[in-house]
């Protein structure tokens, strides 16, 4: 972690934070709090590139500017821990649909990451292979219901209408489906432009285990600005991916999920300050 941006009492390991490695079979999950004290925010702001500062300036409220700056600063700190480099010098690139990424090193290794923010929270996921993460604080029930046709496929809509669960359970199930599908769409890099209903999930989603999507509508794949990876590696197939809920990193009334290729079976929750595994 960059020492410039943290109070000493919050830094349990002294001045030198150790470099972190990404393991081929593991995804690291970093929960991030976005409401930080002024001095820390000023420090995080210094890590941003001129383009990032300009982007922050364009946000319409002070709260949005503060949180976006904190999020991008923290993201840079986290990436700096893996790359063993000054966070301010990291060069982020963007895929055509906006997914930020890092170029592979000269040796071909690549650190993949994705970030999601909602309200005063964010989650950063880092892995050796493509990864997507989504976090949503509970929206008003009315809005959720309005969105259900965008979130669910026709089959899933039918199942939802037949289910006898309470409104509260049913709304949480919808929010859960939303974050799982958006995490996968973000792993693919398409975002929600392809329609979340294009991804189908099993009827029962385990809270504490990896599960696979049951289908990805080929229509969503038309959205992928593909460099040939899809065909070569099969990563456009539903069977390539698995998803897991992040129930342990989020506050009540929120949902979060991560999507990674099958084979990444370990999930490590990492503290923002010491890089130590906590769960």
Ligand X SMILES: CC(C)(COP(=O)(O)OP(=O)(O)OC[C@H]1O[C@@H](n2cnc3c(N)ncnc32)[C@H](O)[C@@H]1OP(=O)(O)O)[C@@H](O)C(=O)NCCC(=O)NCCS
Residues forming contacts to ligand X in the complex (CB under 6 A) are 71, 96-100, 114-117, 132, 134, 182, 186, 189, 191-193
User: How near is the Cβ of 129 to ligand X at its closest, in Å?
Assistant: 14
* CA atoms of 213 and 201, how far apart (whole Å): 5
User: How near is the Cβ of 68 to ligand X at its closest, in Å?
Assistant: 6
> Residue 130 or 275: which CB sits closer to ligand X?
130
Q: What is the CA radius of gyration of the chain?
A: 19
DSSP 238: G
Measured in degrees and rounded to the nearest 5, phi and psi for residue 238 equal -60, -35
User: How near is the Cβ of 60 to ligand X at its closest, in Å?
Assistant: 15
Helix axes 62-83, 50-58, angle to 10 degrees: 150
> Residue 98 or 154: which CB sits closer to ligand X?
98
* Six token digits for residue 15: 């001045």
Strand order through the sheet with 254-261 = 132-137, 254-261, 241-245
Measured in degrees and rounded to the nearest 5, phi and psi for residue 217 equal -60, 130
> Residue 14 or 91: which CB sits closer to ligand X?
91
Report strand pairing: 266-269 vs 254-261.
unpaired
User: How near is the Cβ of 231 to ligand X at its closest, in Å?
Assistant: 20
User: How near is the Cβ of 165 to ligand X at its closest, in Å?
Assistant: 25
Where is 189: in which H helix or E strand?
none
User: How near is the Cβ of 107 to ligand X at its closest, in Å?
Assistant: 25
> Residue 97 or 160: which CB sits closer to ligand X?
97
The closest residue (CB) to ligand X is: 191
How many angstroms separate the Cα of 204 from the Cα of each of 101, 183, 268? 33, 17, 24
> Residue 58 or 204: which CB sits closer to ligand X?
58
CA angle, residues 83, 86, 89, in degrees to nearest 5: 95
> Residue 17 or 112: which CB sits closer to ligand X?
112
Helix axes 167-188, 141-151, angle to 10 degrees: 50
> Residue 137 or 238: which CB sits closer to ligand X?
137
User: How near is the Cβ of 158 to ligand X at its closest, in Å?
Assistant: 26
User: How near is the Cβ of 114 to ligand X at its closest, in Å?
Assistant: 5
User: Cα 4 from chain centroid?
Assistant: 25
3-state helix, strand, coil in the chain (%, to 5): 40, 20, 40
Where is 138: in which H helix or E strand?
none
> Residue 33 or 277: which CB sits closer to ligand X?
33
């Amino acid at each position: 972690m960059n020492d410039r941006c943290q109070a000493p009492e919050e830094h349990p390991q002294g001045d030198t934070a150790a470099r972190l490695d990404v393991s081929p079979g593991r995804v690291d999950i970093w929960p991030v709090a976005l409401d930080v004290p002024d001095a820390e925010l000023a420090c995080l702001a210094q890590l941003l590139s001129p383009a990032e500062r300009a982007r922050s300036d364009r946000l319409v409220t002070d709260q949005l500017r503060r949180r976006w700056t904190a999020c991008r600063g923290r993201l840079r700190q986290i990436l700096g821990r893996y790359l063993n480099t000054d966070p301010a010098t990291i060069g982020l690139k963007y895929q055509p649909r906006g997914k930020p990424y890092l170029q592979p090193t000269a040796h071909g290794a690549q650190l993949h990451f994705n970030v999601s923010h909602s309200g005063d929270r964010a989650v950063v996921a880092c892995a050796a292979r493509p990864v997507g993460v989504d976090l949503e604080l509970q929206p008003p029930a009315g809005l959720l219901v309005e969105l259900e046709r965008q979130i669910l496929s026709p089959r899933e809509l039918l199942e939802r209408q037949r289910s006898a669960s309470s409104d509260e359970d049913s709304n949480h199930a919808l929010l859960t489906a939303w974050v799982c599908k958006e995490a996968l769409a973000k792993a693919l890099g398409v975002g929600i432009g392809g329609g979340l209903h294009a991804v189908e999930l099993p009827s029962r989603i385990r809270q504490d285990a990896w599960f696979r999507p049951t289908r990805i509508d080929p229509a969503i794949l038309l959205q992928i600005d593909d460099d040939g990876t899809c065909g070569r590696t099969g990563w456009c197939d539903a069977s390539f991916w698995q998803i897991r809920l992040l129930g342990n990193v989020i506050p009540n009334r929120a949902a979060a999920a991560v999507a990674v290729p099958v084979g990444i079976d370990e999930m490590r929750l990492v503290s923002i300050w010491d890089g130590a595994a906590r769960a």
